[in-house]
């Protein structure tokens, strides 16, 4: 009876919370400021957390050299400023030129893509199947017209995305400018923050909390540092290959490949798509060489780098990853796709530890009886 009453209380509390949330959505104007405040806080915190795990190994290495934490953070910031200045001097002019050239030539690139596609389809239609030309086979669909419609919609979406990206540049600068301050206190007080959270947990739950926090910290650290290192190495390899093949806009395409490579399993396909389209527009035969370069980079990653960094694959089934990426993309767009895998890892660890604690408590009750 006690167990059923306890479950009933929990269910009633959950129902009450859901009812309150539902009623809040019916009050006009109440969620808009909350959503705006959440978006302003969410992105800087997530980006600072990402950089925290990326820079923490360096900071702890400096701790071993007896350098005080504030000075080590300032040294790290100075190194980051040096990298940023070097990027602004040598890389940014090339990247800016390629981006502006790409955005200005986008309509012409779309027309060239359509022309190349029409020529390829014409050559295919002249081929014969069992003595009959493909062009004489009536399939009831005007394939060139259908592809032209898809292409037009695709180009319009790219143009809209580019215009939106430029319109929110000021907002991005405002958000990112708060990241160094948040990151400073994360790096400076990381162990203090953990100790504070541990004190807030009841004593009997502290061992389970300590184990769960350690597993979450290890999982996030290995995922973020490993993905960044792998994406950078593969990006440098692909950049060299693109320069040898002569792919247009190589730096712009490689930055997109590095960004999408943070997404497990399907990131490589998302990153390769723009490179294949640009290569097809420039010369259809170059698509083969682009595929060879990207495939070689993935072989280097999967067979050499990943075993060294991870030791084994991520403890996430590929099918689960696909479902997570599809659902998160439909709900929150590209940003949700980037954070869904780490979030799933955290939730999974928490659920596993809660289940272990529940099982251990049941065993103890049985032993006492």
HEC sequence for the chain: CHHHHHHHHHHHHHHHHHHHHHHHHCCCCCHHHHHHHHHHHHHHHHHHHHHHHHHHHHHHHHHHCCCCHHHHHHHHHHHHHHHHHHHHHHHHHHHHHHHHHHHHCHHHHHHHHHHHHHHHHHHHHCCEECCEEHHHCCCCCCHHHHHHHHHHHHHHHHHHHHHHHHHCHHHHHHHHCCHHHHHHHHHHCHHHHHHHHHHHCCHHHHHHHHHHHHHHHHHHHHHHHHHHHHHHHHHHHHHHHHHHHCCCCHHHHHHHHHHHCCCCCCHHHHHHHHHHHHHHHHCCCHHHHHHHHHHHHHHHHHHHHHHHHCCCCCCCCHHHHHHHHHHHHHHHHHHHHHHHHHHHHHHHHHHHHHHHHHHHHHHHHHHHC
pLDDT at residue 234, rounded to an integer: 92
313 — pLDDT class (breaks 50, 70, 90): very low
**8 A C-beta contact, residue 134 and residue 125:** yes
78 — pLDDT class (breaks 50, 70, 90): very high
Mean pLDDT is lowest, of 141-155, 284-298, 355-369, for: 141-155
pLDDT at residue 277, rounded to an integer: 86
Q: Which of 33, 334, 47, 35 is nearest to 172 (CA)?
A: 47
**Mean pLDDT of the 342-361 span:** 85
118 — pLDDT class (breaks 50, 70, 90): confident
Beta bridge partners of 245: none
50 — pLDDT class (breaks 50, 70, 90): very high
pLDDT at residue 2, rounded to an integer: 45
**8 A C-beta contact, residue 187 and residue 56:** yes
Q: What is the C-alpha to C-alpha distance for residues 287 and 277, in angstroms, rounded to an integer?
A: 8
| Number of neighbouring beta carbons within 10 Å of residue 30 | 12
pLDDT, tens only, 188-205: 888 787 888 888 888 888
Residue 118: partners with Cβ closer than 8 Å, 6 or more residues away = 144
**Percent of the chain, pLDDT > 70?**
75
Phi, psi of 132 (to 5 degrees): -115, 130
Q: Is the pLDDT at 139 greater than 50, yes or no?
A: no
Q: Is the pLDDT at 107 greater than 70, yes or no?
A: yes
CA distances from 244 to 240, 261, 287, 294, 316 (A): 6, 22, 13, 13, 36
Q: What is the C-alpha to C-alpha distance for residues 352 and 212, in angstroms, rounded to an integer?
A: 9
Q: Is the pLDDT at 295 greater than 90, yes or no?
A: yes
Q: What is the C-alpha to C-alpha distance for residues 97 and 93, in angstroms, rounded to an integer?
A: 6
pLDDT at residue 236, rounded to an integer: 93
pLDDT at residue 292, rounded to an integer: 94
| Number of neighbouring beta carbons within 10 Å of residue 52 | 19
pTM of the model: 0.76
241 — pLDDT class (breaks 50, 70, 90): very high
CA distances from 321 to 119, 327, 338, 353 (A): 38, 10, 12, 21
Q: Is the pLDDT at 146 greater than 70, yes or no?
A: no
Q: What is the C-alpha to C-alpha distance for residues 71 and 79, in angstroms, rounded to an integer?
A: 12
């Amino acid at each position: 009876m006690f167990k059923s009453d306890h479950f009933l209380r929990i269910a009633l509390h959950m129902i009450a919370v859901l009812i309150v949330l539902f009623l809040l959505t019916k009050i006009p104007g109440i969620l808009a400021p909350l959503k705006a405040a959440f978006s302003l806080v969410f992105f800087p915190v997530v980006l600072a957390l990402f950089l925290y795990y990326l820079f923490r190994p360096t900071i702890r290495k400096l701790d071993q050299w007896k350098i005080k934490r504030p000075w080590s953070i300032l040294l790290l910031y100075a190194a980051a400023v040096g990298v940023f200045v070097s990027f602004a001097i040598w890389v940014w002019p090339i990247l800016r030129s390629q981006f502006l050239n790409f955005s200005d030539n986008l309509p012409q690139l779309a027309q060239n893509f359509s022309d190349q596609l029409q020529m390829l389809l014409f050559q295919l239609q002249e081929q014969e199947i069992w003595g009959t030309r493909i062009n004489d086979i009536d399939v009831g669909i005007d394939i060139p017209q259908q592809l032209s419609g898809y292409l037009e919609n695709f180009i319009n979406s790219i143009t809209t995305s580019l215009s939106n990206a430029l319109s929110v540049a000021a907002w991005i600068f405002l958000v990112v400018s708060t990241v160094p301050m948040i990151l400073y206190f994360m790096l400076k007080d990381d162990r203090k923050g953990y100790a504070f959270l541990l004190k807030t947990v009841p004593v009997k739950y502290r061992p389970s909390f300590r184990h769960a926090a350690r597993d979450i910290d290890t999982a996030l650290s290995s995922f973020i540092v490993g993905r960044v290192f792998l994406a950078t190495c593969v990006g440098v390899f692909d950049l060299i290959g693109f320069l040898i093949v002569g792919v247009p806009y190589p730096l712009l395409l490689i930055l997109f490949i590095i960004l999408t490579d943070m997404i497990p399993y399907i990131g490589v396909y998302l990153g390769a798509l723009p490179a294949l389209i640009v290569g097809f527009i420039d010369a259809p035969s170059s698509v083969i060489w682009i595929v060879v370069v990207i495939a070689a980079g993935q072989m280097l990653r999967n067979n050499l780098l990943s075993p060294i960094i991870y030791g084994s694959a991520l403890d996430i089934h590929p099918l689960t990853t696909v479902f997570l990426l599809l659902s998160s993309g439909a709900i929150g767009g590209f940003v949700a796709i980037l954070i869904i895998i780490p979030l799933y890892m955290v939730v999974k660890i928490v659920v596993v530890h809660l289940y272990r604690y529940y099982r251990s408590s049941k065993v103890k009750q049985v032993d006492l009886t």
